Amino acid sequence: MTAHRVTVEGLSLRVGAFALREVAFTVAANEILVILGASGAGKTLLLETIAGFNRPDRGRISIDGEDVTAAPPEARRIGFMFQDYALFPHLTVAQNVAFGRRFAPPGTDAEPVGALLERLGVEHLAARKPGRLSGGEKQRVALARALAAAPRLFLFDEPLAALDARTRDSLRRELREFLRRAAVPAVYVTHDQAEALALADTIAVMREGSFAQVGSPSAIFNTPVDAAVASFVGVETVIEGRIVQVSDGVACIAVDGVLLHAAGATPPMDTRVLACIRPEDVALARQPQRDSSVRNQFAARVVATEAAGPLFKIVLDCGFPLVAYVSKQSYLELGLANGGEVVASVKATAVHLIAR
Amino acid sequence: MSASASAAVRGRYHPRGLALAFALASALLLAFIVLPLAQLYASQSEASLAHVAAMAEVRSAILLSLAAALATTACAGLLGVPLAYLLARTKFPGKPVVEAIVDLPLAVPHTVVGIALLFVFGRTGIVGAPLEAWTGLKFWGTAAGVIIAMLYVSVPYAVNAARIGLESVDERLEKVGRTLGAGRWAVFLRVTLPLGARGILTGLALTFARSISEFGAVIVLTYYPMTAPVKIYDLFLQSGLGDSSAMAALFLAITLSLFIASRYLFRERREPGSASAR
């Protein structure tokens, strides 16, 4: 299989009062770009423009170096995943997949229908109509159908938004596994921060038709470019690290030379992870608590303080950036000021890991 | 709480009052529809039915009605579905005018339709005259005339029902079809048309029913060869209620059974698997 690559440059399109402005990105095979934005930010319009349903006013879309800006959707070889996956209700699972195969351009390297059904583990559903399939089965059938047409890019338009939280988590994991192995770049649109964290190699925060910030998940969450991005993504600390030890259900994560402990569901050794810590789970003190059961204690320097409603938001540097919320009382007692030294502690159970 | 309590005291509460009143009105209406037809059958003897069924003119009139209505339905489908698709899927200036034009035949008296059609398709009509000169095709006193008359009065049913059927097709399915490599034609034929089929077929069934029952427009354009409604009228004029009501009963039996069969075939089916889909 060829490794595909998609580049979008200076994409602009005005539709009524709304406009996409100067959208640009590159996604390579095995990469997932998550476009994160509130509804009305223009995410769906952008995806449908990339897919060829709208002709941009300006800009260029190229796939594997070939300019497809003027090509109709059927000539682009893009696998488009709608919410709930939009399987053809009048066709069986096998016929759904065969639909993609039938129109695949000759000479493409897509697998035959039977092999695709088997690869995605849905061969037992071949004769069923999509109506009563579960969310997971629909996802697998839709992926098989898209693969049958030998796609060079996957576009996902909030495919999991209609599902309950638990199903969503497991389908997200499955999708991520799938996209890791497919040699096809993916652009995934969502309004859900957790979804972005779980899937993204790169996150683009979209606002009013353009990208406000593009970067790694930790960069977006820890160093938002402006207040609007910050308030949209929330103030959770997101740190990239690698699991270096697992014992008794506690994982040890190396983060920029500092060790962080996390309890709960622990990925295996050497997994790259995102460690997420909510600001209300960070406790601050003057001195280290020697007799404490809290596993994570870091000497930290106060970088910034700001009033946030009834609380104070404290930005710390403890080898990695960390955000804490403290009450006004603690704020005064600890005498927190920029440059001040404190000890930040976080329970291992409060560190939430997302495997990458 | 006190407000609802006093309301209950003031007006006595009949939970079944509305349902009973509406059921009574409905029963009256249904009886009004069914009773005349039932009475038409009740007044026939086997002998009188057999008598008209044996008449060659009666048989050829019924056959002409069936054939012409079928041809009309085919024309309405071929010409009506594209218009229905445009109305269902596109916005264009003047769309309300187009919608009004589609419904126009419903508002024109059928004898008026016949006369108006004569101006276009008659021997000296603007289409009829050149067409007869070039191809010999005549619309006056021919089966072609019957079809033209039937088409004019029945086409709104085909277009409107097909439009509703096509509007019900999720546009995302069409978009998915395109991204899977199918062009517009392929998506229309493989996605839109099969998914909108029930609406289209319902429309065509109505078109057929409307066509086969048409009298006014047909008789102005084409008295001979006679369609079944025209022949029934002809028998009525010649020999009163006897033979005409017998033929009416015979013809009705055929059209009603077709009507019921189509209702059964195009009924809303709950596909196994789609019940809990949404």
**pLDDT at residue B273 above 70?**
no
Tell if the CB–CB gap between A131 and B195 is shorter than 8 Å.
no
Tally A–B CB contacts below 8 A: 83
B69 occurs within a structural domain: yes
User: Domain segments of chain A: what residues?
Assistant: 5-234, 238-355
Q: Are A9 and A59 in contact (CB under 8 A)?
A: yes
B1 occurs within a structural domain: no
**pTM: predicted TM-score of the whole model, two decimal places:** 0.81
Tell if the CB–CB gap between A131 and B275 is shorter than 8 Å.
yes
Q: How close does chain B come to A86, measured CA to CA in Å?
A: 6
**pLDDT at residue A342 above 50?**
yes
Tell if the CB–CB gap between B178 and A128 is shorter than 8 Å.
no
Tell me what the mean pLDDT of segment B149-176 comes to: 96
Task: Please report the pLDDT score of residue B10 as a whole number.
Answer: 57
Q: Are A305 and A315 in contact (CB under 8 A)?
A: yes
CATH architecture observed for domain A238-355: Beta Barrel (2.40)
Two tokens at A335?
A: 């005498």
**pLDDT at residue A326 above 70?**
yes
Tell me what the mean pLDDT of segment B91-117 comes to: 95
pLDDT tens column, B27-77: 999 999 999 999 999 989 999 999 999 999 999 999 999 999 999 999 999
Ranges A250-254, B73-77, B192-196, B263-267: which has the least confidence: B263-267
Task: Please report the pLDDT score of residue B171 as a whole number.
Answer: 94
Number of folded domains in chain B? 1
pLDDT tens column, A184-222: 999 999 998 888 988 999 999 999 999 999 999 988 888
- Which residues of A lie closer than 8 Å to B, measured between beta carbons? 48, 51-53, 72-80, 82, 86, 88-90, 99-100, 102-105, 128-132, 145-146, 148-149
CATH number of A5-234: 3.40.50.300
Task: Please report the pLDDT score of residue B14 as a whole number.
Answer: 65
B22 occurs within a structural domain: no
Tell me what the mean pLDDT of segment A264-279 comes to: 84
User: Which stretch, A110-124, A243-257, B94-108, B248-262, has highest mean pLDDT?
Assistant: B94-108
B10 occurs within a structural domain: no
Tell if the CB–CB gap between B277 and A89 is shorter than 8 Å.
yes
CA pair distance A280, A292, nearest whole angstrom: 18
Tell me what the mean pLDDT of segment B115-131 comes to: 92
Across the interface, of A78, A86, A99, the residue whose CB is closest to B170 is A86
Q: Is B263's Cβ below 8 Å from some Cβ in A?
A: no
Per DSSP, the residues of chain B read -HHHHHHHHHS---TTHHHHHHHHHHHHHHHHHHHHHHHHHHT--HHHHHHHHT-HHHHHHHHHHHHHHHHHHHHHHHHHHHHHHHHHH---TTHHHHHHHHHHHHHS-HHHHHHHHHHHHSTTSTTHHHHHHHH----SSSHHHHHHHHHHHHHHHHHHHHHHHHHTS-HHHHHHHHHTT--HHHHIIIIIHHHTHHHHHHHHHHHHHHHHT--HHHHHH-SSSPPHHHHHHHHHHHHTHHHHHHHHHHHHHHHHHHHHHHHHHTS----TTTTT--
User: Which structural domain range is residue B157 located in?
Assistant: 63-265
Task: Please report the pLDDT score of residue A1 as a whole number.
Answer: 54
Q: Is B176's Cβ below 8 Å from some Cβ in A?
A: yes
Task: Please report the pLDDT score of residue A34 as a whole number.
Answer: 96
* Helix H or strand E segment including B256: helix B241-265
Query: How high is the mean pLDDT of chain B?
Result: 90
B217 occurs within a structural domain: yes
Across the interface, of B176, B183, B272, the residue whose CB is closest to A86 is B176
Tell me what the mean pLDDT of segment B238-245 comes to: 91
ipTM above 0.90 for this complex: no
CA pair distance B256, B238, nearest whole angstrom: 26
Residue to test with chain B: of A44, A48, A80, most B Cβ within 10 A: A80
pLDDT tens column, A295-323: 899 999 999 888 888 888 899 998 888 99
Q: Is B181's Cβ below 8 Å from some Cβ in A?
A: yes
Percent of chain A with pLDDT over 70: 99
**pLDDT at residue B6 above 80?**
no
Tell if the CB–CB gap between A51 and B175 is shorter than 8 Å.
yes
- The pLDDT-based confidence of B277 (bands split at 50, 70, 90) is very low
Task: Please report the pLDDT score of residue B1 as a whole number.
Answer: 44
Across the interface, of B170, B179, B277, the residue whose CB is closest to A131 is B277
Which residue has better confidence, B21 or A109?
B21
Task: Please report the pLDDT score of residue A180 as a whole number.
Answer: 85
Q: How close does chain B come to A99, measured CA to CA in Å?
A: 7
Nearest to B177 by CA among B198, B163, B194, B200: B194
Tell me what the mean pLDDT of segment B248-253 comes to: 94
B126 occurs within a structural domain: yes
B58 occurs within a structural domain: no
Where residue B205 sits, what CATH number does that domain have? 1.10.3720.10
B275 occurs within a structural domain: no
Tell if the CB–CB gap between B182 and A105 is shorter than 8 Å.
no
The SS3 of residue B272 is: coil
Taking the CA atoms of B266, B268, B272 and B277 in sequence, report the sign of the dihedral they define. positive
**CA A10 from centroid of its chain's CA atoms:** 23
Q: Is B179's Cβ below 8 Å from some Cβ in A?
A: yes
**CA B66 from centroid of its chain's CA atoms:** 13
Q: Are A153 and A79 in contact (CB under 8 A)?
A: yes
Task: Please report the pLDDT score of residue B12 as a whole number.
Answer: 63
Residue of chain B whose alpha carbon sits nearest to that of A75: B181
Percent of chain A with pLDDT over 90: 48
According to DSSP, the β-strands at A272-277 and A18-28 are: unpaired
**pLDDT at residue A332 above 80?**
yes
**pLDDT at residue B134 above 60?**
yes
**pLDDT at residue B276 above 70?**
no
Query: How high is the mean pLDDT of chain A?
Result: 90
Q: Which residues in A lie closer than 8 A to residue B177 (C-beta atoms)?
A: 88, 99
Tell if the CB–CB gap between A74 and B181 is shorter than 8 Å.
yes
**pLDDT at residue B275 above 60?**
no
Tell me what the mean pLDDT of segment B110-128 comes to: 93
Task: Please report the pLDDT score of residue B274 as a whole number.
Answer: 40
Which residue has better confidence, B59 or B273?
B59
Tell me what the mean pLDDT of segment B161-165 comes to: 95
**pLDDT at residue A42 above 70?**
yes
Tell me what the mean pLDDT of segment B102-119 comes to: 95
Ranges A116-125, A232-241, B158-167: which has the least confidence: A232-241
